[in-house]
Amino acid sequence: MEEGISKKNVIVIGGPTASGKTGLSIELAKKINGQIVSADSMQIYTDMDIGTAKVTKEEMQGIKHYMIDIIPPNKRYSVAEFKADAEKAIEEIIKSGHTPIVVGGTGLYINSLIYNINYPEIEFDKEYRNNLERQVEEFGLEKLYNEAKKIDEEACKKISSNDKKRILRILEIYKHTGKNKTELEKLSRAIPPKYNYKVFAINCEREKLYERINKRVDKMLEDGLVEEVKKIKEKYTEFPTAMQGLGYKEVVEYLENKITYEEMVEKIKQESRRYAKRQITWFKAIEGLIWLNADNGTEKNLEIILEEIN
């Protein structure tokens, strides 16, 4: 970007699962002629609607959304690809005279934009991945988590010890680049981002948030989450990352008779609560972030955002 040209504003609304990001972002978009770029690592997948709490056409209220339903569950999709596609969407929104609003709870996706982190585009090494998968089967995930911790303790602090997808990613990045994920992030952060990101995140009193999460899980199951997973498993033969998603992996365990229905429900709720806790920790680390209280209600939070961006 040439010197003297002011950077365009991009609004970011983050926060934990079930905190009310979707509703707030749509109301904001209506007020400021905005369009929305989703920063959710599960809503990118087609056919995965219920378990991802994907925004419906009705909920969109005519507001254009990007980065939703862009790839099938049998495809891989990296953070590097997300960053490139999201920046393309932001550019398109700005050119069309609208204000971009990035919305989501995937901290990795949001950080890639606001800190301009260029994650290396690593070619997938099937042999190495199969080797790691075998080790998980044979020795359990804890062994690989401990290995990942030795390589990159900082990155491991941000993830759960049973987050297989991200544990394997830490190991793969190190094997293919000789540097750990944290080192690579620091190197790429040297170049400032293209846009002026104004970052907000919704927080909610812990007990209320957990209650919201539990209710959301009940509703997902009522709406047919188990049926959704069955259909996806029938339609596709492989799921490199999609079926490791929260809510999906537990249903798969239930369908494979590894756990009972009741255990599945409790596990989804428990893992969702843990995930929300990690999301809050992640957002707390973002410099200059402005917290919004879910108890304020939409109108009050809109006021706060509008005051900050004008």
Q: Which structural domain range is residue 261 located in?
A: 9-118+191-309
pLDDT in tens, 88-110: 999 999 999 999 999 999 999 99
Q: Does 181 share its domain with 300?
A: no
Residue 3 in domain: no
CB 212 within 8 A of CB 22: no
Q: Does 96 share its domain with 230?
A: yes
Residue 299 in domain: yes
Q: Does 196 share its domain with 157?
A: no
Q: What is the mean pLDDT of residues 247-272?
A: 97
Long-range contact set of residues 223-228: C-beta below 8 Å, sequence gap at least 24: 223/50, 224/50, 225/50, 225/51, 225/251, 226/251, 226/254, 226/255, 228/47, 228/48, 228/49, 228/50, 228/51
Is the per-residue pLDDT at 121 higher than 70?
no
Q: Does 93 share its domain with 195?
A: yes
Is the per-residue pLDDT at 3 higher than 50?
no
Q: Does 230 share its domain with 256?
A: yes
Q: Does 89 share its domain with 20?
A: yes
Confidence category of residue 185, pLDDT binned at 50, 70, 90: confident
Confidence category of residue 120, pLDDT binned at 50, 70, 90: low
Percent above pLDDT 90 for the chain: 73
Residue 273's region, left for phi above 0, alpha for psi from -120 to 50, else beta, is: alpha
Q: What is the mean pLDDT of residues 191-218?
A: 95
Q: Does 305 share its domain with 212?
A: yes
Q: Does 64 share its domain with 40?
A: yes
Confidence category of residue 251, pLDDT binned at 50, 70, 90: very high
Buried residues in 100-134 as b, exposed as e (16+ CB within 10 A): bbbbbbbbbbbbbbbbbbbbeeeeeeeeeeeebee
Q: Does 38 share its domain with 157?
A: no
Residue 272 in domain: yes
Residue 1 in domain: no
H helical segments located in the chain:
21-32, 57-60, 79-95, 107-114, 126-139, 141-151, 153-157, 164-177, 181-188, 206-222, 225-235, 248-255, 261-284, 298-309
Is the per-residue pLDDT at 113 higher than 70?
yes
Q: Look at the chain and report how many structural domains it folds into.
A: 2
CB 63 within 8 A of CB 34: yes
CATH for 172: 1.10.20.140
The confidence score (pLDDT) of residue 4 equals: 38
| Across 83-92, 150-159, 185-194, 241-250, least confident range | 185-194
Residue 2 in domain: no
